[in-house]
Amino acid sequence: MPVTHLDSLDKIVSLSKSRGFIFQSSEVYGGLSAVYDYGPLGVELKRNIQSAWWKAMTQVHDNIVGVDAAIFMHPKVWEASGHVEGFNDPMIDDKQSKKRYRADMLIEQHILKLRDKGDDEKADELQQQLNTTGTRKGLCEDLYDIIMTEEIRSPDSGAFDWTEVRQFNLMFKTHYGAVTKDEDDVIYLRPETAQGIFVNYKNVLDTARVQVPFGIAQIGKAFRNEVVARQFVFRMREFEQMEMQYFVEPGTDEEEYDKWLQARLNWHKSMGIRPDNLRIAPHPKDKLAHYARAAADIQYKYPIGWQEVEGIHNRSDFDLSQHQEYSGKKMEYFDQKLQKRYIPYVVETSVGLDRTVLMVLCDAYREEEVDGDSRTVLKLHPKLAPTKAGIFPLIKKEPLQELARKIETDLKEEYTVLYDESGSIGKRYRRQDEAGTPFCVTVDFDGLDDNTVTIRYRDDMKQDRVSADKITDVIRDEIKSWSVK
Ligand code: ATP
């Protein structure tokens, strides 16, 4: 059975729109770039991923608890975290087209072009240069020098007419309260959810009866005014993160970091992602932030190349120490067992929910030839599928409709299902294949006497005849035993 894999995001973008997974924000007004809305199928998929993550963090670990912090936070938080000073991307403008680019990304693209041309030696040399582009201070000058020396042209206009490289802060700023608009009222939309966890660390310690090591998990929106955001939900200006900060005794951090890195890779596999499309990419030691003791990306092989879906970081005691200094409040923990005080180290797992949705969609997408015909199918893990079963009367006639409605009512107790009686049965199967629905239940005249129905499986299109009373059990067993093929 021939299978087509994706070489760009185009098919996912168009399926997302046509089937109601993801729409561009404010589309009727021409859209708002890098902001997206989830449609009826998309919101179910997203919620199923959220629930799977939440369960993997809080439900199965008795030492991980959740919080849901507000998006607005005291402005001092972002001074303490270093975001006001350093959450920047280096940008450069093409003076002719007035388009803005990320200087480091321009160089990355140039390196890829060199590789395509077979000039690996030059590509390696530039990559090395890029990896060692000095301190944050000298970064702009270093990147500008590379762009000038290599005569890198603008991808859109082809011009070689650049501004200087400047740092651009990615935080969205607004004014808080209705009185005046001066610098005192400035407030930021949070660029990450993590700080909401750090500033609640003491509250959780005091109320949740947890002891180091323990974790705090959170799912929520984050906002970044990304310089370049043209890759669908991969890079958005408003997106969602699922983060867990694990507070550990200093000295145990390396072991915990290794453990979480593996645990998180396994979680991605448990979402039905093909293992060959996942890898761990450790950050080189000389690229780590000054406080970071280790960091790695979990990368997925998106149609746009290997890219980060999750970051795992050993952040030392940096964040809690900063908040201790800026707030004047003690962040120490008294370890009863060891009879000593310390500021815990933090191992962080930070995954983008929207990037996970995109990964899940890309990995599930198949085009297959079936008896000279073609079908598009999303082979989603059934536990993530937005609709678990389609329920069809073979034709629009009683008593088939009545029995189908009854099955729908029974299944609804446990699953999201869809009743559909319009169009040929083949068309109805195809519609559900595209929506990723793993099971279709068809009620026909043959089954009326012995109360049986046909269950059709999305992945191999096989059909079984089962008792109508057993469908819930069959679906439950199938979800449990499903594995990616
Ligand atoms: P990148 O290098 O791709 O910009 P990052 O290293 O800045 O990502 P983190 O700050 O580690 O990302 O954020 C954790 C996770 O949040 C990322 O792994 C990613 O899944 C998600 N994320 C970050 N920025 C965006 C964005 N603009 N749109 C969608 N998801 C994002």
- 3-74+186-362: CATH topology is BirA Bifunctional Protein; domain 2 (3.30.930)
CA 283 – ligand 1 centroid, Å: 15
CA 236 – ligand 1 centroid, Å: 9
Among 48-62, 178-192, 315-329, the least confident range: 178-192
> What percentage of the chain exceeds 90 in pLDDT?
80
90-111: pLDDT as tens digits: 899 998 888 889 999 899 999 9
Q: Which of 35, 239, 348 to mutate to test the pocket of ligand 1 (most atoms within 8 A of CB)?
A: 239
- Residue in this structure with the two tokens 């009512």, named with its chain if needed: 409
Among 134-143, 334-343, 349-358, the least confident range: 134-143
- Segment 181-199 shows an average pLDDT of 88
State how far the Cα of 19 lies from the Cα of 22, in Å rounded to an integer: 8
CA 352 – ligand 1 centroid, Å: 6
- 88-169: CATH topology is Herpes Virus-1 (3.30.40)
Which residue minimizes the CA distance to atom 20 of ligand 1?
Answer: 352
207-232: pLDDT as tens digits: 998 999 999 999 999 999 988 778 99
Which residue minimizes the CA distance to atom 4 of ligand 1?
Answer: 235
Identify the pLDDT of residue 182: 62
Q: Which of 22, 350, 354, 360 to mutate to test the pocket of ligand 1 (most atoms within 8 A of CB)?
A: 350
State how far the Cα of 12 lies from the Cα of 354, in Å rounded to an integer: 13
Identify the pLDDT of residue 402: 92
Of 229, 193, 252, nearest to 66 by C-alpha is 193
Tokens of 66: 């959740």
Of 285, 421, 306, 300, nearest to 359 by C-alpha is 300
Task: Enumerate residues 6+ apart whose C-beta is below 8 A from 23.
Answer: 16, 17, 36, 37, 38, 39
CA 246 – ligand 1 centroid, Å: 19
> Ligand 1 atom closest to Cα of 243?
14
Residue 1 has pLDDT above 60, yes or no: no
315-324: pLDDT as tens digits: 999 999 999 9
> Ligand 1 atom closest to Cα of 191?
10
Q: Give the global pTM.
A: 0.90
> Ligand 1 atom closest to Cα of 297?
18
231-288: pLDDT as tens digits: 999 999 999 999 999 999 999 999 999 999 999 999 999 999 999 999 999 998 877 8
Of 463, 400, 397, 406, nearest to 429 by C-alpha is 463
Residue 4 has pLDDT above 80, yes or no: no
Which residue minimizes the CA distance to atom 19 of ligand 1?
Answer: 352
Identify the pLDDT of residue 180: 61
> Ligand 1 atom closest to Cα of 313?
11
- Segment 146-150 shows an average pLDDT of 93
Identify the pLDDT of residue 394: 92
> Ligand 1 atom closest to Cα of 237?
27
- Ligand 1 binding site (Cβ under 6 Å of any ligand atom): 192, 224, 226, 235-236, 239, 241, 308-311, 350-352, 354-355
CA 244 – ligand 1 centroid, Å: 15
Task: Enumerate residues 6+ apart whose C-beta is below 8 A from 374.
Answer: 367, 368
To 5 degrees, how large is the angle CA 361–CA 366–CA 369? Answer: 160
Give me the residue spans of the domains in the chain. 3-74+186-362, 88-169, 387-481
State how far the Cα of 167 lies from the Cα of 227, in Å rounded to an integer: 10
Identify the pLDDT of residue 311: 97
In this prediction, residue 395 has a pLDDT band, given cuts at 50, 70 and 90, of confident
CATH architecture of structural domain 387-481: 3-Layer(aba) Sandwich (3.40)
In this prediction, residue 24 has a pLDDT band, given cuts at 50, 70 and 90, of very high
Q: Which of 299, 355, 357 to mutate to test the pocket of ligand 1 (most atoms within 8 A of CB)?
A: 355
State how far the Cα of 222 lies from the Cα of 233, in Å rounded to an integer: 13
Identify the pLDDT of residue 135: 53
431-476: pLDDT as tens digits: 999 999 999 999 999 888 899 999 999 999 999 999 999 999 999 9
CA 390 – ligand 1 centroid, Å: 35
DSSP codes, 377-393 = EE---TTT-S-SEEEEE
More confident residue, 131 or 24: 24
Strands 305-314 and 333-335: unpaired
CA 200 – ligand 1 centroid, Å: 22
CA 102 – ligand 1 centroid, Å: 15
More confident residue, 372 or 320: 320
More confident residue, 391 or 138: 391
CA 232 – ligand 1 centroid, Å: 13
